[in-house]
């Protein structure tokens, strides 16, 4: 098996996006409420580029009626939302197989927050703030190709819990697609399906 690069969605795949938002809101967020927030964020991302922290804040103000200052604080700290329990160890192991980089609809500041939780830096952090575009825009993957020096192709594996907006684009670009069945994953076409990142590290 030849793997030149592994890229990872972060929010919902490496970080427990749903748990993080729920805890930030005092533990009062039902699943349907999380869906509404995520869907509103997707709509805001399609309206044109703004930092992800601002999009998080606006979605919380509109959907949950949150105070704007508190919403801005939550958006700024989104990279501190908890990791899934398997993420750090699995990524350590996967980095022995191939370079592992983030392709993420987040900001540069969130990279430091995620790194602090992992205990190490990923091999690349290709984010919406730098590219000025949000997934599912292919620009994210083209930027990753330039940054990581790896052409689009089957020996590039893209890993995500979201087959709809994330893996669909990766698949159209010819990448090997890995669906991680996180509690809030969105199913769809994938080349490899795993329950968590530890299982991926065993593939």
pLDDT at 165: 82
User: Which of 79, 100, 117 is the endpoint of a domain?
Assistant: 79
Q: How many structural domains does the chain have?
A: 2
In a domain, 25, yes or no: no
Q: Going by C-beta distance under 8 Å and a sequence separation of 6 or more, which residues neighbour residue 59?
A: 37, 40, 41, 44
- Is 94 in the same domain as 40? no
User: Which of 42, 59, 79 is the endpoint of a domain?
Assistant: 79
In a domain, 102, yes or no: yes
- Is 88 in the same domain as 167? yes
- Is 102 in the same domain as 68? no
- Is 177 in the same domain as 130? yes
In a domain, 24, yes or no: no
In a domain, 22, yes or no: no
* Exposure string for 74-108, b = 16+ CB within 10 A, e = fewer: bbbbbbbbebbebbbebbeebeeebbbbbbbbbbe
In a domain, 86, yes or no: yes
- Is 110 in the same domain as 189? yes
- Is 113 in the same domain as 193? yes
Q: Going by C-beta distance under 8 Å and a sequence separation of 6 or more, which residues neighbour residue 48?
A: none
**108-118 and 52-64 helices, crossing angle to 10°:** 90
pLDDT at 2: 87
Euclidean distance between CA atoms 73 and 28, whole angstroms: 18
- Is 68 in the same domain as 167? no
pLDDT at 1: 62
- Is 71 in the same domain as 100? no
Nearest Cα residue to 141 out of 161, 2, 150, 187: 150
Nearest Cα residue to 105 out of 40, 45, 21: 45
- pLDDT tens digits in sequence order for the chain, 203 residues long: 689 999 999 999 999 999 999 999 998 889 899 999 999 999 999 998 999 999 999 999 999 999 999 999 999 999 999 999 999 999 999 999 999 999 999 999 999 999 999 999 999 999 999 999 999 999 999 999 999 999 999 999 999 999 988 999 999 999 999 999 999 899 999 999 999 999 999 87
- Is 88 in the same domain as 35? no
- Is 108 in the same domain as 180? yes
Q: Which domain holds residue 155?
A: 5-16+81-202
Euclidean distance between CA atoms 182 and 1, whole angstroms: 25
In a domain, 46, yes or no: yes
């Amino acid at each position: 098996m030849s793997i030149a690069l592994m890229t990872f969605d972060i929010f919902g795949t490496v970080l427990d996006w749903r748990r993080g938002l729920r805890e930030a809101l005092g533990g009062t967020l039902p699943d349907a409420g999380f869906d509404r927030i995520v869907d509103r964020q997707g709509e805001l991302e399609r309206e044109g580029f703004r930092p992800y922290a601002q999009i998080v804040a606006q979605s919380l103000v509109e959907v949950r009626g949150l105070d704007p200052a508190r919403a801005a604080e939550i958006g700024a700290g989104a990279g501190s939302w908890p990791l899934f329990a398997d993420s750090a160890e699995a990524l350590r192991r996967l980095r022995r197989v191939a370079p592992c980089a983030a392709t993420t609809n987040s900001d540069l500041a969130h990279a430091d927050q995620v790194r602090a939780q992992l205990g190490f830096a990923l091999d690349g952090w290709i984010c919406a703030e730098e590219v000025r575009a949000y997934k599912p825009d292919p620009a994210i993957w083209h930027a990753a190709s330039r940054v990581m020096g790896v052409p689009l192709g089957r020996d590039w594996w893209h890993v995500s819990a979201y087959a709809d907006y994330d893996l669909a684009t990766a698949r159209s670009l010819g990448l090997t697609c890995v669906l991680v069945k996180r509690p809030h994953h969105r199913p769809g076409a994938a080349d490899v399906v795993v329950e968590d990142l530890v299982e991926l590290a065993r593939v």
